[in-house]
Structure formats: C-alpha cells, structure tokens
Structure 1
Amino acid sequence: MKKLLFTIALVSIGFTAFAQQSSSIETKAIKLIELTSGQQFDIMTEPLVKMVPEENREAFKKDLAQSTEELYKKMATVYTESFTEEELDKILAFYDTPVGKKMVAVTPELTKKGMEIGQAWGMELQPLIAKYTK
C-alpha cells in the first residue's frame, strides 16, 4: 500500500511539474504573440467593432477580448511546437531591448503601409492575370 501511494505521489508530482512547464512556455508564447501581433489584431478588429451599434460596443469588446484570448492560446500551441522555452526566452529578451521595443512600436504602421502597397500591387496584377486567363 505504501508503495502504491508513493508511486501515485511521484506520478502526481511529475504531472504537476509538466503542467507548470507547459503553462510557463505557453505564457511566454502568448506574451510573444501579444507583442508581435496584438496591435495588428486590434487594427483588424476595429472595423468589426464599428459594425456593432454604439449601445452594444462595450459588451462586444468584452466578448471580443475573451475570444482573442482563446485565439492566442490556440496560436501559442503552434509557437510551442516550433520554439523551445529557451528560444522563447531569447526572443522575448530581444523584444525587451530598445530596437525590439521600436520593432513592436512601428510594426502596426509597417503592416498598414504594407497592406496598402500589397493592395496596389494586386490591382497592378490585374492586366497580367487577364493576359494569361484569356
């Protein structure tokens, strides 16, 4: 009986340690996602917020925030499959440097301008597409 209790205790400790490690790496992945994509998600969801009548916007924003949190958790799985915890630590350390902070600050504007350039390029491609689809 003592052996069984000891085994159960060891297994429980192992699962707890794994869960803590998993949650630690997940937390770091979510932090990275927030740093690198959070402002872009805000930009992308802004038109959605404007579609909701003014009297419902605050409630919508709360639900949207909860939905975004779930999205980040799902995305964190992809990050934790691609990066070790040590690698995430190093990436996060970069984003804590002056140039990393600047990268976070200018990324939304870069994204916006990049989208505008991409849309213009797509329009420029119309004649080329027409040439090969006739």
Structure 2
Amino acid sequence: MTRFALHCAVALLAVSAMVTSVSAQEAAPAAPAAAAPATPPAAPSHTAAAVAFLKAAQLTKGFEEMIPAFADQVRLRYVGQRPEVADIINDVTISLIPEFVKRQDDLVTALAKLYTDRFSEDELNQLTQFYQTPLGTKLAATQPAILQASVPIVQEWSRKLTTDMAVRIRDEVKKKGPQL
C-alpha cells in the first residue's frame, strides 16, 4: 500500500469514526461556519522548502506509481467497452502516460501549500534536515508500515468507543425515565 493510500485510509477511518460517533447523538442545528480567510500564496522559496520536505519525508513516494495505475484503470474501462480496438487503446494509453506524469508536480505543489500554511520556511528547512539524518530516513522508511498497522488499531478503538458511548448514553437516559 502506498504512503498516499495509507494517509487516505487513516483520514477516511478518522472521518468514519467521527460520523459514527455523531450518528449516535441527536443532531443539533449547526451554526453557519465563518468563511476562512484566503491565505496569500507562499513565496517561491517557501514552496520549494515545502517540496523539499515532502520529498525528504518520502511523502511523495508512490505518486509515480499512481499515474500508470490510474491510466491502466481507464484503459481497462475503454478496452471493456471496445475490445475490438484494444491494441489502439493500449498504445494510446502508454503514449499519454508521460503527459500525465507531468501533473504529479501539481499534486506536490498542492500538498506543499498545506505545509506552507502551517510551517515557516525555516521550520520546513529544519524538518528537511531532520529527514536527511539517519533517524529521519528511518522514520520516513518505517512510517508506511506503522500507518498500515495503525488502521486496525484505530478501527477497533473507534468501534469500542462508540459502542461504549452508546451503552453509557442509553443507561444514563434510562436513569431519567425514558428507555432508548
């Protein structure tokens, strides 16, 4: 599983846990959220520092594999629709991969903005320096396995928490008379 996929899985897991917890409670009317002020674009050197950090932390690792995988999904869909022109579809798909690989920079730049919004250029340079040390390299290399191993732990924790929460709420409401 790629680091990107693991990040997505953990994020989806966290959202799922929150949704499950919220669904166990009565929905209260939500106050309108204030629009967040747009942050000005980061200086090119700040963005470059964020990109260097992303690469040093190996957070872009696996992006190269995603583009051919996505192309293959699209190719298979078209081949399924028009198997008689499979050879042409295959050739065109292969020829277009370099064009789409260039878009990887768009993703890296978008991710870099997440970091330039939260870290100064100096902080990003310090983080990059850390990830270039033996310990930082080890952290970057082992983090995917740690994230993958954490998914079932988070799932079990959130399942137990929501179950226990539901029991406690039901028991406390029952003490006041109504039964859920």
TM-score, length basis structure 1: 0.59
Instruction: Give the % identical residues.
Output: 21
- Aligned pair count reads 109
Contact residue 56 and residue 132 of structure 2 kept, 8 A: no
Name 2:52's counterpart in structure 1. 31
Task: Tell me the C-alpha RMSD between the 2 structures.
Answer: 3.6
Contact 1:28 1:88 in 2 (8 A): yes
TM-score w.r.t. the length of structure 2 is 0.46
Q: Deviations along 1:5-39, whole A, 9 cap, x unmatched? A: xxxxxxxxxxxxxxxx9222212202222343334
1:79 matched to which residue of 2? 115
Q: Deviations over 1:73-115 (max 9, x none)?
A: 1232232233232222211111111001001000101111111
In structure 2, distance between residues paired with 1:124 and 1:64:
42
Where does residue 107 of structure 1 map in the other structure? 143
Asked if 1 retains the 8 angstrom alpha-carbon contact of 2:47 and 2:113, the reply is yes
**Residue 130 (structure 1) shift:** 2.4
Q: Which of residues 130, 134, 139 in structure 2 aligns to 1:94?
A: 130
Cα pair 1:26 1:77 within 8 Å, conserved: yes
Contact map agreement 2:49 2:125 (CA 8 A) in 1: yes
- Stretches of structure 2 that go unaligned for 5 or more consecutive residues are 1-41, 78-92, 171-179
Distance, in Å, in 1 between the alignment partners of 2:138 and 2:60 is 15
Secondary structure, counterpart of 1:82 in structure 2: coil
Measured in 2, the distance between the counterparts of 1:63 and 1:79 equals 24
As a proportion of its length, which structure holds more helix? Answer: 1
